Amino acid sequence: MKSPGEDLIIRMWETVEKVGCGFLAPWQARRMGRANALAQRDTTLLLAQTERDVAALKDGTARLDHSGAAPRICHTTETRGNGAQPTGRVEPSFASTGMVDRALGAAAAEALSAEVNRTKALFHAESWLANQFTPAPEASVDSDWLEAWRVNAGRTSAEQMQRLWGRVLAGEVAAPNTYSLRTLDFLRTLSKSEADDIARLAPLVVEDTVPSDFPSLHNERGVGSSLLIRLQAIGLLSGVGGISIGRRYTPGVLREVAFRTVGHHIVVRWNNESLTTPQVDLNGFRLTPLGVELMRLCEVEPDVEFAEAFAQSLADKHLDVTLCSLELGPDGKERRINCRVLKNRLSELLRQHSSASQQD
């Protein structure tokens, strides 16, 4: 019996092998029937050894040995005059052969380092795909997109960014054309501080909008005007510093609209009492198409207080509002749980006052 995401994981390794990625990956070992845990352990050890080899090639304590049928990394040592402990150094030399060897060693170190970076990103991608229940799609990842991912992921050594590159590959394998080449180019130059800004904003997004009606709550989360201006400057937001951009939602055949924020659905239903409010206007700062794609990559905790505040603001407009949490069911699909109805606060106060007056 296949495990969740197995088809997607196989598709991912087959995809990256087309551009020569993942030579350290456990895919070949798994195809030969090795246990998953054993393959992962062996690959982790191999990664660690490769990183040591890269460091040795860079600092000159190792070189490429071409004496055999294939080049290999030789950790060179120099013994002291008395034959005692090795110094671990290779003395500098200006001979042409020495220069070539050092150049080849530097190139090998760079190539190995890039492959280690890509493989770590692939492991993050594999972890995400392992929890997906969707079948492998018929469409394949575009070759130009895959080449851009290979080059950029190889340049990233920070774990946070490797996780991001793994996540974007996983999403593209699961649903080709989800992320554009422009998004890959943006990620290439994304700094850690910018990534932190995006993660700070993500729980405060409703659909594709950052509602502007909660300034005090935004400030408590560190999402002030300066952060919003920075994200607009790098192309993720619009409407900051000017007139906020609104989007109008009207009831469809089911007479309801479901607003999505991280970890929650806010469901608005129209009934006889809400006929005076025929639509919902969501005013705020709109995400650009690039911003929408970046938000899909964020893995952040839900902001329960914000979800409740947004839902309550709708209930106060005489709308029938239900706030639900979201979780993944056994079939891998999201489902609503812990749903509760929010009341119009003014109407509730008037009702309580009227009830108290009748008791008197």
- Is 87 a domain residue? no
Residues 6+ apart with CB under 8 A from 177: 139, 142
Task: Retrieve residue 1's tokens.
Answer: 């019996």
Please check the confidence at residue 30 and state whether its pLDDT lies above 60. Answer: no
- Is 117 a domain residue? yes
- Is 358 a domain residue? no
With 0.95 as the threshold, say if the pTM is over it: no
Residues 160, 225, single domain; the answer is no
Work out the angle at residue 357's Cα, subtended by the Cα atoms of residues 356 and 360, and round it to the nearest 5 degrees.
90
Residues 183, 35, single domain; the answer is yes
User: How many beta carbons lie within 10 A of that of residue 12, not counting itself?
Assistant: 28
pLDDT band at 343 (very low <50, low <70, confident <90, very high): confident
- Taking the C-alpha atoms of residue 119 and residue 172, their distance in angstroms, rounded to an integer, is 17
- Taking the C-alpha atoms of residue 149 and residue 165, their distance in angstroms, rounded to an integer, is 8
For 245, the 3-state DSSP assignment is strand
The domain of 252 spans: 203-350
Residues 217, 185, single domain; the answer is no
Which of 156-170, 315-329, 338-352 has the weakest average pLDDT?
338-352
Residues 27, 128, single domain; the answer is yes
Four-CA torsion 236, 242, 243, 244, nearest 10 degrees: 30
Q: Tens digits of per-residue pLDDT, 146-172? A: 999 999 999 888 888 899 999 999 999
DSSP secondary structure code for residue 180 in this structure: -
